[in-house]
Structure 1
Amino acid sequence: MRKLKNSELDRLSPDAFKKAHKTPLIIVLDNIRSLNNIGSVFRTSDAFLIEKIYLCGITATPPHKDIHRTALGSTETVDWEYAKDTLALIERLKDSNVKIISVEQAENAIMLHDFKTEPNTTYALVFGNEVKGVSQEVVHASHQVIEIPQFGTKHSLNISVSCGVVIWDLFTKLKGKISS
């Protein structure tokens, strides 16, 4: 086995990325503190052709050197928008027939592996603050809540890790079996 060179990876150019058919997933970052987490979410969103990222509340926006350090240019490929009020954004997305899914530990949450996607549906995945999680008012306004099952002694994952796990799971469900 031989590691592939970057030139062999057949990656999209930024222009081709902008024109590519996007995965019907929108990421909503609800008051994320860490600039590195924000950059990591951009990078993961680029990898899976995410439709758009909304940066809400205290979540910092590009350009910023600490976001850029982990985003590696993906702030230039993935569409994004700042929204001061997460709840107002959620209501706007709902009015556009986007299904709102908070990723949180909550009563009646659906375990990620049990969540089934629906055809012709765009999902907005809401990820919350590193300490407080998704705000309760946004959880109330969501259509559903997804929880990532965890089996160790800790009760949470880093926001960027959570985002990667959920995006990968929904991407595979929306796109069918992924082949290499």
Structure 2
Amino acid sequence: MRKLKNSELDRLSLNSFKAAKKTPLIIVLDNIRSLNNIGSVFRTSDAFLIEKIYLCGITATPPHKDIHKTALGSTETVDWEYVKDTLELVEKLKVEGVKICAIEQVENATMLNDFNPESHTKYALIFGNEVKGVAQKVVSASDVVIEIPQYGTKHSLNISVSCGVVIWDVYSKLKPQN
């Protein structure tokens, strides 16, 4: 086996990315404090052609050097918007027919491996603050709450890791339906 050169990876140009059919997923960051986490979410969202990222509450917005450090230019490819109030955004998205999925540990959560997204449905995946998680009022307003199964001694993952795991899982379940 030989490692591929960057020129062999057949990556999309900025214009091709903007024109490409997007995965029907919206990412909502609810009060994320780490700029490196925000940048990592942008980069993962670029990798899976995510439709849009909403940055809410205290979540910082580009341009910022610490976001750029991990985003590696994906703040230019992935559409994003700042919205101050996450709950107001959730209510707006619901009116637009978007299914709201908080990623959190709650009573009666749907385990990620058991979550089966419906074809022709757009989903908003909400990821919460590094310490407090998704705000309870946002959890309560969600259509479904998805939990990432964990089997070790720790009961949480870094938000950027959680985002990568969930996006990959949902993308892989939706891909055959696109």
TM-score of the aligned structures, taking structure 2 as reference length = 0.99
RMSD: 0.8
Q: Does residue 163 in structure 1 map to residue 167 in structure 2?
A: no
Partner letter of residue 90 of structure 2?
I
1:176 Cα deviation (Å)? Answer: 2.3
* Corresponding pairs, count: 177
In the alignment, what sits opposite 2:91? 91
Distance in 2, Cα, partners of 1:126 & 1:106:
14
Partner letter of residue 70 of structure 2?
T
Structure 2 residue matching 1:130: 3-state secondary structure:
coil
In the alignment, what sits opposite 1:136? 136
Partner letter of residue 155 of structure 1?
H
Distance in 2, Cα, partners of 1:23 & 1:103:
18
1:107 Cα deviation (Å)? Answer: 0.7
In the alignment, what sits opposite 1:70? 70
1:111 Cα deviation (Å)? Answer: 0.3
Could you list the runs of 5+ residues in structure 2 that have no partner in the other structure?
A: none
Partner letter of residue 157 of structure 2?
L
In the alignment, what sits opposite 1:25? 25
Distance in 1, Cα, partners of 2:15 & 2:68:
19
Distance in 2, Cα, partners of 1:132 & 1:74:
27
In the alignment, what sits opposite 1:109? 109
Distance in 1, Cα, partners of 2:148 & 2:79:
26
Q: Summarize deviations over 1:78-100 as a string: whole Å, max 9, x none.
A: 00000000000000000000000
Runs of 4+ displaced beyond 6 Å: none
Q: Summarize deviations over 1:24-44 as a string: whole Å, max 9, x none.
A: 000000000000000000000
TM-score of the aligned structures, taking structure 1 as reference length = 0.98
In the alignment, what sits opposite 2:152? 152
Q: Does residue 122 in structure 1 map to residue 122 in structure 2?
A: yes
Structure 1 residue matching 2:91: 3-state secondary structure:
helix
Distance in 2, Cα, partners of 1:30 & 1:156:
16
Q: What is the aligned-residue identity percentage? A: 80
Structure 2 residue matching 1:127: 3-state secondary structure:
strand
Structure 1 residue matching 2:32: 3-state secondary structure:
coil
1:67 Cα deviation (Å)? Answer: 0.1
1:146 Cα deviation (Å)? Answer: 0.2
Q: Does residue 59 in structure 1 map to residue 59 in structure 2?
A: yes
Could you list the runs of 5+ residues in structure 1 that have no partner in the other structure?
A: none
Distance in 2, Cα, partners of 1:127 & 1:80:
15
